[in-house]
Amino acid sequence: MRTQIYSLLLLSYLLTLITACQMPPEKPNSLEEYPVYLNDDLGLTYTPKMSTFKLWSPAVDAVKLRIYKDGLGGEAIQTVDMRYSEKGVWVAKIKEDLTDHYYTYQVKNGDKWLEEKADPYSTICGANGQRTMIYDWAATHPLEWEKDQRPALQQANDIVLYELHIRDFTHHESANTKHKGMYLSFTENGTETQNGIKTGLAHLKELGVTHVHLLPTFDYQSIDETLPPSERPYNWGYDPHLYNVPEGTYSSNPSQGDVRVREFKEMVQSLHRAGIRVVMDVVYNHTGATETSVFNQLVPDYYYRQNAAGGFSNASACGNEIASERAMVRQFIVQSVKHWAAEYHIDGFRFDLMGIHDIETMNAVRAALNEIDPSIFIYGEGWLAGDSPLPEDQRATKNNVPKLNGVAAFSDEIRDAIKGHVFTHDAKGFISGLDNLKESIKFGIVGGVNHPQIDYQKVNYTNEPWAPQPSQCIVYASCHDNHTLWDRLQNSIPDASAAEKVKMQQLALSIVLTSQGVPFLHAGSEFCRTKQGVENSYNSPDSINQIIWNRKEQYQSTFDLVKNMVALRKAHPAFKMTTQKAIAENLIFIETNNSNVVGYQLNGQAAGDEWTNILIYHNGSNQSFKVDLPEGNWDIVVNGDQVRLDGSTKTVSGSVELPMIGTMILKR
C-alpha cells in the first residue's frame, strides 16, 4: 500500500513537472521584465537524426511548429505543439531526417492565433522567406570554402571602400556577363565591353579598391522572388525580412533555399581570391513590415520601440525602429553579424541609420567581431531620420563616435562641402566654386580629428572634431542615396561645359582619395555615372539604376585618375596616417589667400614615406592660381587628371600654376 502511495505521489510530481514545462509562467508585467536567454541555439539545430527547434517568445500562450514539404504552397505535413522550456524559450524536437523540408511557427497571444511566420533566426529559406528551410549547413559550402581567407589588411586606414548594388553592377548588356545582376556575376573573370573595356570583377581589380560594400543582400520583402528575372521590379533592399538569409533575387534559384547560400559564398570566395574584402550593408534599425513582421507576429511588441502614445516610434522614417537596447534584440543583432562574419567570411558591416542603435549594442558588435577577426571593419550613418525615444547620449550618432570602440561614421561635413547641401538639389559646393567652405574641406582632409589649424566654428554641421582617430571617419562625396555626383553637377551648374563638370567630378574624387580618413567611392562615380537625374532611385527601374559600362570609355580620363589616385594612396603612408597626433604634427595647412584653394604640406618622412615632403593643393575655382612653393625643387606628381607614378615628373621651384578646378600634388 505504501509503495502504491509513493508511486502515485511520484507520478503526480512528474505530471506537475511536465505541465510546468509545457505551460509558460505568469506573463511579465513589462517588456523590460522579459526573461533573457543568452545561449546561441535559438532557431534550428539540425542533424540527420533529429531537428531541434527553439523560439524565444516569453509572453505568448502557445506555439505551433508546422513542417512543410515545399517552401511555398501545400498543406503542413506535420504540426507539433511546442513546449515551454525556460527563459521564454519554446522547444520542439523531431527525431527524423527533415532535410529539404520547411517549417514555420505560429503563436497564440491571448485567445488569438497570430500569423504563421518563418523563424526569425532562419539561415536558409524558401521563396520570399515564407518558410525556413531545414538543411545541412555544411552542404552549402562551395569547393575549397575551408581554404577561403580574408585578403591581407595592415590597418583600417589602408581601406578604400567601393559601394555597389549587385543588380546595378552587371545588369546592363554592356557588362557582358552571363549572370546579369546575380551573385555569380562576381565569379566571372575577364569580362569586357565590346570595345575591350573591363567590367564587373575585372573592373574592381583594375581600379584597385580594397573593399566592396554591397547594398542590402539579406532577404528583403519588396520583390517577389517567384517572378522571372525579367519581370521583377527593382529595389535597393532597405526593407528587411529575414536578416540571416541571403536575398533570393540575386540567386539562380530562389525557390531552392540552399542555392542562394552557396552562390553568395561563391561570390565572397571569388572576391577574396581577387584580393578584395566584402562589406555588407546591414539594416538592423528597422524592418520592412511592422505589425505583420516576423518579429511582431512571433514576439509581439518586443523588438520595436514605442512612442509616448504607445504606438510604434519611427526614427527610421520607414514605419518603425528596432529597440536595440533591449537585451534579446541586442543579442539578435550581435549573433547575426557573427553569423555573417563566421559563416560567410564577411569582412565588414555598414550600419544603416546607425544613430538609431544604442552605443552599448554597437560596442557589443565590435567586441564580438574582434573575437573572430579584429580587422573586420564597422561603420555607419551617424544620424537618424527622425526623433527617437532613445536618449541622445545613448545613440550611436556622429557626435558620440568617441564613445564607440573602433566604429566609424560618415562625414556629411566633407560630403556637402565638396558638392553642396545634399537636399538642396541646385546648391553649389567647393568643386563648383562656392566660397567659404575651406574649414569644412579641411575637416574632411584630416579625417574629422582634432587639428590646431581648423576653425571648428566655421565647419558645417559641427563645431568640434568627433573622430578620435582618422579610421573612424568615412570621407565621401556621394553614395547610393540622393543624386549621383554627376547628376548633382548637372543640377547645380547647368551652364557649365561638360569639360568643366568632368574636372569638378575629378576634383571631388581627388579630395576624397587624398584625405586622411577612410575613402568611400560610389560605384560608377569613377566614370561620371548618371541616374538620369533621379534622386531617390530606390525603386526606379533598371534603366535608371544600372551601370552603363560604355561610360567608362567615354570618361576614361576620370577612371584613369581615380585608379592612379587609389594606387598613389596605397603606396604612400603619408596619405593615411593612423593617429590624431601624427596628423596634427605632420599635416600643415598652407594659407593661400584664396577662399577656393586649400593647400597643405605632409611630412612624409615622419610618416615613413619615401616622399619626404608632399604638397597638396585643391583648387575649386574656375581659374588657374599661382602659389609660392617652399624652398627647393619639387616634382609634380598630380596635375589635374594627369598622374605620374612612373617617375616621369616635371620639376619646378619657386612657384607653380595650379590647374583650374583640379588637384596638384608635388613631392620632394
Residues annotated as catalytic are 352, 381
* Residues β-bridged to residue 603: 613
Can you read off the three cell numbers belonging to residue 447? 579625417
- DSSP alpha helices (H): ranges in 525-659? 542-545, 550-554, 556-571, 580-586
Angle (nearest 5°) at CA 240 between 238 and 242: 150
SS3 category, 1 = coil
Dist CA 664 CA 668 (whole Å): 14
DSSP H or E segment with residue 11: helix 2-22
SS3 category, 638 = strand
Specify whether the CB–CB gap between 665 and 615 falls below 8 A.
yes
In the chain, count of helices (H) and strands (E)?
15, 28
* Residues β-bridged to residue 179: none
* Residues β-bridged to residue 280: 214, 349
* Residues β-bridged to residue 652: 634
Dist CA 579 CA 245 (whole Å): 38
DSSP 112-153: EE---B--TT-SSB-GGGSSEEP--GGGGPPTTGGG--PPP-
What is the β-pairing status of strands 473-476 and 408-410?
parallel
Dist CA 473 CA 656 (whole Å): 32
Dist CA 473 CA 415 (whole Å): 12
Burial class (CB in 10 A: 0-12, 13-18, 19+), 33: exposed
| Other CB atoms within 10 A of residue 433 CB | 19
Dist CA 180 CA 172 (whole Å): 8
How far is Cα of residue 330 from the mean position of the Cα atoms in its chain?
A: 18
Dist CA 262 CA 26 (whole Å): 43
What is the β-pairing status of strands 43-46 and 51-56?
antiparallel
DSSP H or E segment with residue 590: strand 587-590
Dist CA 259 CA 133 (whole Å): 11
Dist CA 176 CA 191 (whole Å): 6
How far is Cα of residue 504 from the mean position of the Cα atoms in its chain?
A: 27
Dist CA 423 CA 434 (whole Å): 16
Instruction: Match 525615444 to its residue by C-alpha cell.
Output: 389
| Other CB atoms within 10 A of residue 408 CB | 30
Dist CA 506 CA 485 (whole Å): 10
> Is the Cα torsion angle 601, 456, 382, 163 positive or negative in sign?
negative
Dist CA 557 CA 567 (whole Å): 15
* Residues β-bridged to residue 627: 656
Cα separation values, 472 from 419, 451, 519, Å: 22, 15, 11
